[in-house]
Amino acid sequence: MRRLVTRLSAAAAAAGLATAGLVAGAVPAQAAACTGTSGVTVVVDFGSSTSIRCAPGDPSSGLAALQAAGFSVKQVQRQPGFVCRIDGAPASDPCVNTPPTSAYWAYFHAARGGSWSYSSLGAASYDPKPGSVEGWSFGSGAAPGSAPPAKTSTPRSTPTTKPKPKPTPAPSKPTARPKPTGGGSTAGSTPRGTTSAAAPTGSTAPSASATASPGPSSTVDPTASPSGTPGDDSTPLAAAPTSTEAGGSGAGTLVAGGALVALVASGAGFAAWRRRS
């Protein structure tokens, strides 16, 4: 349930942030690197712009962190777990087969203020540690253009608009979940006609660190509460619908399809029965 809540809030945040690449203040708790040692900072390099947000708590996987940070994720239709689009980019990819090696979302890990390292696991398999940084970069596998944000010393005050902080700690998985697919560690082998924005190294605007004051990296945050911080679990706002898939109109489609299948199958059964008799 909690994951559903975070995803709903993530979708709501994505709806607010979808238009501009970086709108500081729209969803204040997430539109910057995490403070303290809790939460996973997610850096997404869109090529033309870079977005840095914070996934609160301890997300169970890189994919969950990406979604909890407010990015909308669309997976490859034939390869569940393989990230195809983040916040609708790239729009040119139909997301049916795995993207080509020249235009996919490469997945990186880093420590705060460290350097990027290409993930050897898929995003659905890797369990990021709280306080670490996850990087996503579109292109042919190059690291994100901006360095992992450094550690912050001053704990920022949590936003005042938070209605009701949930005290439940994240149900963190105890073990790492290794698995090959996803995240872009697989080379796509499908011929694709055109892929826009194939160049990953655009001019990345490093303005994302506007809100998080980069302090000296040696200072340890004293206020990191060990009792499982509630995180920035903003309760769902006006129930923004999650991604609007072309999923049919519900029960009517199911009944119609089922009736059609049953009709043809009963025809087959009748033909077989008539032959036997």
Partner 1 sequence: MTRPLPRAVHPAAWWGWAVGLAVAVSTTSNPLLLLLALAVASLVVAARRGSSPWARAFRLYLWLGLAIIVVRLVLHVLVGLKLGSTLLLPLPEATLPSWAAGIQLGGDVYLEGLLGAAVLGLRLAVIIACIGAANALANPKRLLRSLPSALHEVGAAVIVSVSVAPQLAESVQRVRRARQLRGDAGRGLRAVRRIALPVLEDTLERSLLLAAAMDSRGYGRSGAAPARERRLTGAVALVGLLACAIGLYGVLDASTPVLLGTPTLVAGLALSALGLWLGGRHVRTSTYRPDPWRGAEWLTVGCGVAAAAGMTLVGRLSPDALAMPLEPLGVPALPIVGVAGLLGAALPAFLTPEPPRPAPGWPSAGPWG
Q: Which is nearer to partner 1, 4 or 23 (CB)?
A: 4
| List of residues 6+ apart from 196 with CB closer than 8 A | 90, 91, 92
3-state secondary structure the chain: CHHHHHHHHHHHHHHHHCCCCCCCCCCCCCCCCCCCCCCEEEEEECCCCEEEEEECCCCCCHHHHHHHCCCCEEEECCEEEEEEEECCECCCCCCCCCCCCCCEEEEEEECCCCCCEECCCCCCCCCCCCCCEEEEEEECCCCCCCCCCCCCCCCCCCCCCCCCCCCCCCCCCCCCCCCCCCCCCCCCCCCCCCCCCCCCCCCCCCHHHHCCCCCCCCCCCCCCCCCCCCCCCCCCCCCCCCCCCCCCCCHHHHHHHHHHHHHHHHHHHHHHHHHHC
Number of residues that bind partner 1 (CB under 8 A): 55
Among 28, 100, 141, 165, binds partner 1 (CB under 8 A): 100
Q: Which is nearer to partner 1, 11 or 52 (CB)?
A: 11
Region 13-72 residues binding partner 1, contact defined as CB under 8 A:
none
Interface with partner 1, residue 122, by CB under 8 A: yes
Among 112, 156, 162, 179, binds partner 1 (CB under 8 A): 179
Cis upstream peptide for 163 (omega within 30°): no
Interface with partner 1, residue 91, by CB under 8 A: no
Q: Which amino acid is at 53?
A: R
Interface with partner 1, residue 109, by CB under 8 A: no
Among 20, 23, 91, 96, binds partner 1 (CB under 8 A): 96
Interface with partner 1, residue 194, by CB under 8 A: no
Query: Shortest gap between Cβ of 191 and partner 1 (angstroms)?
Result: 4
Among 20, 23, 91, 271, binds partner 1 (CB under 8 A): 271
Q: Which is nearer to partner 1, 220 or 251 (CB)?
A: 251
Q: Which of 65, 67, 66, 59 is nearest to 171 (CA)?
A: 59
Q: Which is nearer to partner 1, 100 or 114 (CB)?
A: 100
Q: Which is nearer to partner 1, 94 or 113 (CB)?
A: 94
Interface with partner 1, residue 150, by CB under 8 A: no
Interface with partner 1, residue 94, by CB under 8 A: yes
Q: Which is nearer to partner 1, 3 or 156 (CB)?
A: 3
Structure tokens at 255: 């009944």
Interface with partner 1, residue 75, by CB under 8 A: yes
Q: Which is nearer to partner 1, 62 or 145 (CB)?
A: 62
- The answer to whether residues 272 and 48 touch, using CB atoms and an 8 Å cutoff, is no
Query: Shortest gap between Cβ of 69 and partner 1 (angstroms)?
Result: 16
Among 95, 133, 208, 212, binds partner 1 (CB under 8 A): 95
Residues contributing to the site for partner 1 (CB under 8 A)? 3-4, 7, 75, 77-78, 80-81, 94-96, 100-102, 120-122, 124-125, 175-182, 189-192, 242-243, 245-251, 253-254, 256-258, 260-261, 264-265, 267-269, 271-272, 275
